[in-house]
Structure formats: C-alpha cells, structure tokens
Amino acid sequence: MNQRGDGFVGVFDSGVGGISVLRALVDELPHEDFRFFGDSANAPYGEKTEAQVLELSRDITERLLAAGAKAIVIACNTATSVAAKTLRAAHPDVPIVGIEPALKPAARALPHGTVLVMATEVTLRLEKYRELVRAWGGECEVIPVPCPGLAARIERGDLDGADLAAMLEGYVGAYAGKVDGVVLGCTHYPFVRRRIAEILGADVRFFDGGAGTARQLRVRLTDAGLLAGRDRPGRVEFASSLDTPEELALYERFFSLSC
Ligand code: DGL
C-alpha cells in the first residue's frame, strides 16, 4: 500500500555543488530516497541573468515534481535567492526548502568577528543578501567576496591544480591573517574549503548552510506528514543535464568526497 511518505525528495543545483548539501540531507534523513539533478550543462548559474536562473529552476522543479517528488530542496544559494519565492507560490502544497549563506550561525559563533561571505555575483547583488546581513550580521564586520569563475572551475572536477590555488589566492589572499570566519555561500565551495583554509590560516572558522537546510527539510517533511516510514536506508540517485557516464561518475566521486 502506498503511504504519503513514500515518494522521493528532489534536490537540484547548477551542478556538483549541491552534492555537498545532499550529503547533509542523507546524514540527517538516512531513510529518505533522494534524486539529485545537477544542471551542469547550464552551469554556472551565478553568472547568468536572474530571468535565466528563474526559468532553469522552474523547469527543473516541474520535471522533478512530474516524476513524483514529494518535496524539493534547492541546493543552490543562487537559485534560492532568485527563484524560491516564485516556486513556493506556484506549488503551495509542496515543501520547497532552499539554502542561504550561513551568516546567522557565523555571527552567533563570532559575535564581533570579521567574516567573509564567499558567494556568486548573483547571490551577493540581490536584496535578499542585504536583508540577511541586516537581520543576522549583528556586530560582525561582514565582507562580501564574489567569486566569478570559481563554481565553473570546481565543475571541472580536479580540485588540486595550481590554477585553482591561484584563483583562490586572488579572491581571499588579501584577507590572510585578518579574518575570523568564512561563510561558504555557494554550495560548490565546501569542496575547496581546505584549499581556502591553507590561504587564510588554520584558525579561521568555516560555515555553510548544508546542515541547516537538512534540519529544515526534516521539519517541513514532519509537518506535512511526509517523512519516510520505511526501515531500509534510503536510495540516492543522480541525474545531470550533461547526461554522460563521465559526468555521473564525477557526481558519485563528489558524493564520496563529501563524507
Ligand atoms: N552552487 C550554486 C550556489 O550555491 C551556484 C554556483 C553557480 O552555478 O554559479 O550558488
């Protein structure tokens, strides 16, 4: 017999970044089935227009819902900033959970600290980001650091190259020894956290929105009576708009890296 909680949770991002969130979701809700869609053919979202990001997000959400998703996680700060409100208005009965730069936990942990917010250009230029800083930045000095090109570079999969180190140095090198915390406000960036720490120093604390998003999904599924009732571990499936075996292997590799 079908139960309400039987469906899967659809999770999407512009590409591999959302896999850092997927890991947090699986850790928090190990009995749920997840279907992850990475729009790698259209990445990066953070350098597109808002209208383009909205259209892509709408299209993916509708396809996941048509395939039977019981809830949606927008595992992308950029798409959340642009599209979450519109998607929720279009699908009021579906739990739709987004992600935002984890400034709230950062400002709580470092009340008078200096905190970098690394994110895409789109995320940092929208009013939603300014509201976040006003609401939760507290007494922190909050420094936005747009990182054009970084998500696209991470999409290539090789996380050890000297070119990547040079890129990161360009974004944050000037802050070495001068900051207390870094908010990784793009879901791709947790995959280069260690490389950023090498530049900024071992004492710098990192924050990302994965765990908070996972807790929020648990609340929303519980409230809607949609939590999976099964005992077996949930399944995780990957799909990509770059539908090649190499791309899907890359997703699996990033999923194991995120352990
Ligand atoms: N991973 C996404 C984010 O959290 C978008 C990166 C991109 O495609 O530019 O913002």
How many angstroms separate the alpha carbon of residue 102 from the centre of ligand 1? Answer: 15
Q: Which atom number of ligand 1 is nearest to the Cα of residue 119?
A: 10
User: What b/e string do you get for 204-240 counting C-beta neighbours within 10 Å, with b at 16 or more?
Assistant: bbbbbbbbbbbebbeebbeeeebbbeeeeebebebbb
Residue 189 tokens read as 């960036």
Mutate to test the pocket of ligand 1, among 21, 186, 258 (most ligand atoms within 8 A of CB): 186
pLDDT-derived band at 104, boundaries 50, 70, 90: very high
**What is the residue with the minimal CA distance to atom 2 of ligand 1?**
76
Q: Which helix (H) or strand (E) holds 33?
A: none
Give the whole-angstrom CA distance, residue 55 versus residue 159: 30
* pTM of the full structure: 0.96
Pocket of ligand 1 (CB under 6 A): 13-14, 17, 43-46, 76-78, 120, 123, 151, 186-188
Mean pLDDT, residues 68-90 taken together: 98
Q: Which atom number of ligand 1 is nearest to the Cα of residue 47?
A: 9
Which amino acid would we find at residue 162?
Answer: A
pLDDT at residue 2, as a whole number: 47
pLDDT digits (tens, 9 = 90+) for 163-199: 999 999 999 999 999 999 999 999 999 999 999 999 9
pLDDT digits (tens, 9 = 90+) for 34-71: 999 999 999 999 999 999 999 999 999 999 999 999 99
How many angstroms separate the alpha carbon of residue 34 from the centre of ligand 1? Answer: 20
**What is the residue with the minimal CA distance to atom 8 of ligand 1?**
44
Give the neighbor-by-neighbor strand order of the sheet with 34-38.
Answer: 96-97, 69-74, 8-13, 34-38, 236-240
Dihedrals phi, psi of 10, to nearest 5 degrees = -85, 130
User: Is 186 a known active-site residue?
Assistant: yes
Q: Using the structure block, give the residue that is written with the tokens 């709580």.
A: 108
Mean pLDDT, residues 93-99 taken together: 98
